[in-house]
Amino acid sequence: MKTWFLGFLAAFIFLVTGCNTARVNWESRVGNYTYDQAVLELGPPDKSAKLTDGAIVAEWLTYRGSRGSSYFYSPSPYYFSPYYEPPTPDRFLRLTFDPEGRLRAWQRVAK
């Protein structure tokens, strides 16, 4: 009984801590987070551009949206009603770095 309880407790702790994803506080990273750290943490950006002043604007895809769908829903065997699910946008994290490579600004973008 004691072994079963310890196994259950270990599985529960693993499940709870494994599902807890901490949200990043980007505001606290402004001024001290670098482009190199972002690439190491998030991987290469999906899009990036270097501005004339030397700043870098980079975007990382954080959520792939749906393209929408249509199908028939049947609440009973004799009745079918059309159902349309609208598309949802892709979501991106846009980080702007100053010419020295430090984070200047951040925002979440939906396209």
pLDDT at residue number 67: 82
pLDDT at 20 over 90: no
- For the chain, the average pLDDT equals 83
Higher pLDDT, 59 or 6: 59
pLDDT at 95 over 60: yes
Q: Please, where are the H alpha helices in 1-111?
A: 2-19, 26-29, 35-42
pLDDT at 4 over 60: no
63 forms beta bridges with 91
Q: What is the mean pLDDT of residues 32-41?
A: 96
Do 96 and 106 meet the contact criterion of CB atoms below 8 Å apart? yes
- For Cα atoms 44, 29, 27, give the angle at the middle one, nearest 5 degrees: 110
pLDDT at residue number 87: 87
| Cα 97 to Cα 34: distance, rounded to the nearest angstrom | 7
pLDDT tens track for 48-83: 999 999 999 999 999 999 887 776 666 666 666 677
pLDDT at residue number 85: 79
pLDDT at residue number 103: 97
